[in-house]
Amino acid sequence: MASADPAVGETQSEPTLRRCLNVWHLMLAGVGSTIGSGIFVITGTAAAQYAGPAVTLAFVFAAIVCLCTGLCYGELASVLPKSGGAYSYARDVCGVLTGWIVGWCLVLEYLVACSAVAVGWSGYFADLLAGLGLALPHALSSAPLASLAGSHHLIATGALFNLPAALVVLAVTVLLVIGVRETNFANIIMVAIKVGIILVVIVFGAAYVRLENFQPFVPPNEGSYGEFGWSGVLRGSAVIFYAFLGFDGISTSAQESRNPQRDVGRGIMGALAICTLLYVGMSIVMVGLADYRTLNVANPVSVALAAAGGDLAWLRPLVNIGVVVGLASAILIGLYGQTRILYVMAQDRMVPRLFGRVDARFRTPAAGTVIVGVGCALFAGLLPIDVLGELVSIGSLLAFAIVCFIVLLLRRRAPDLHRPFRVPFSPAVPMIGMLSSIYLMASLPGNTWIRLAIWLGVGMLIYLGYARPAVLRAAALRAGEAGGAP
């Protein structure tokens, strides 16, 4: 295993990140980053196009994949309690190049995913204001570019800038700069609101569920792989997997956790358990209220509530509030994870040191946070959600597969290493996590693989032109200092 020495340039006199997070903070951060557009949008799409009422099983299968990966994250966090998550694990165990590849994939996951969620937030926020008689002008609430149907070309929409999407990102950025305590306080409030609203929908909606909507539970296959049947349930799991992205962000909090060896793994498991229960409960109510074929819309929860008649009309405004709050929370924790990954990569000289500089007053990587926030705001303001979301899942799945592989590799290289948190039933669980991630990657369209190759190609150019020379110079400097060279 590679050495996990302190970062170059890190001295005792420099400010460091504040250790103030316990297991409940980590668990709520995982729930906050995971529950977002998935529960409010993707559930309907997966039911209507792939799995039918068996979308609940699709959630369970996706959760099993995430559980296997989450257990691997927990073990590695107990051995390597350092911010950076999968990047730090890959770099310390497999070397600089593998670490760069994983870190570059995570940059894609967090930055693009946060921008996409911000665009979704803007749409729901505009609808919420319209319901209050405060309609936003199209020129300032939509992206100036859109993808042309049937191609990958961008066309002008006539809009100027998606201002709400950019503003919510900038507001979250300010909160992240101020401090991690304030960030977690805000996240706790937002998680409480959106989980409370989800529970209200489940409890009150359950009384109007019609059993005939569950027949057949697994609709017969329509002739092609993924078009209902059991293959549709598996395809639905690949689509729904996006709804679970976010739990891995807990591992980026290791250097701000009071007891990362114990709490990171527990936080991941707790967040996954809570999210799975909420997803399954909401999906049962949705397909029980309405025919699953009617749920292929942007607001499937509203459609399901409308199918119950006027008795549940009072819930629809609450759902809109829950979506707005829920997506804001997902942006908050997503940007947090991005800045902490770049913080560690800067310490390792992979990216400019500015991203690793901790502000003496706020004890956060303020300058790096501002740069990430402004970049994310520009993406969210200029690009449509379908363009932003194309690469999120495949980059994350690649990182997940590598994390599971690292657990297997480290078990073989250092079997006697003290592991406060261990993956049970190893090597079976890491193997299931790795192979399942690869399978879900293989189920994605070919164009997604091409875009991933392009992204990795750009990353390799940056690695060869900047990161690798910087790492070699830092290593030479350390060697010279250790040897007493002039």
pLDDT tens for the 486 residues of the chain, in order: 444 333 433 444 556 556 666 777 778 777 876 776 667 767 887 888 888 899 999 888 888 888 888 888 888 877 877 767 788 888 888 889 999 998 888 888 788 778 878 887 887 788 778 778 888 888 888 888 776 554 456 677 788 899 999 999 999 999 888 876 777 777 778 888 888 888 998 999 999 999 999 988 988 887 877 788 888 888 888 777 767 776 666 766 666 677 776 777 788 888 888 888 998 999 999 999 999 888 877 678 878 888 887 788 888 778 878 778 878 887 887 888 888 888 889 988 899 988 988 888 888 888 999 999 999 999 889 877 655 655 566 777 888 899 899 999 999 998 888 888 888 888 999 999 999 888 878 877 677 788 788 889 999 999 999 989 988 888 888 777 666 544
Would you call the peptide bond into 420 cis, given omega within 30 degrees of 0 as the criterion? no
Compute how many other C-beta atoms are within 10 angstroms of the C-beta atom of residue 179.
18
Neighbours of 171 (CB within 10 A): 15
| Site of tokens 């962000």 | 249
Cα 447 → chain centroid: 21
Residues 266/21, Cβ–Cβ less than 8 Å: no
pTM for the model stands at 0.75
Q: What tokens does 83 get?
A: 């911010």
Count of alpha carbons within 13 Å of 139, Cβ hemisphere only? 2
Dist CA 474 CA 351 (whole Å): 13
Residue whose token pair is 């770049």: 342
CA distance 122 to 335: 17
- How many whole angstroms separate alpha carbon 107 and alpha carbon 483? 36
Q: Could you tell me whether strands 145-147 and 154-156 are parallel, antiparallel, or unpaired per DSSP bridges?
A: antiparallel
Judge whether 364 and 179 are in contact, CB under 8 Å: yes
Look at residues 289, 317, 315, 318 and name the one whose alpha carbon lies nearest to residue 304: 289
Token digits for 471? Answer: 């790492």
pLDDT at residue 11, rounded to an integer: 42
CA pair distance 24, 17, nearest whole angstrom? 19
Residue 131's contacts (CB-CB under 8 Å, 6 or more residues apart) are 317, 320
C-alpha to C-alpha distance for 351 and 239, rounded to whole angstroms? 32
Please list, in sequence order, all residues whose beta carbon lies within 8 angstroms of the beta carbon of residue 254, skipping any fewer than 6 positions away.
Answer: 77, 80, 81, 82, 83, 84, 85, 88, 260, 264
- Domain 24-146+158-477: CATH superfamily is Amino acid/polyamine transporter I (1.20.1740.10)
Length of the chain in residues, anyone?
486
Spatial contact of 165 and 248, defined as CB atoms under 8 Å apart: no
Q: Which residues contact 466 (CB under 8 A, 6 or more apart)?
A: none
Q: Please, what's the b/e burial string for 367-394 (b: 16 or more CB within 10 A of its CB; e: otherwise)?
A: bbbbbbbeebbebbbbbbbebbbbbbbb
Distance in Å from the first CA to the final CA of the chain: 31
The CA-based dihedral angle spanning residues 440, 441, 445, 448, taken in that order and rounded to the nearest 10 degrees: 150
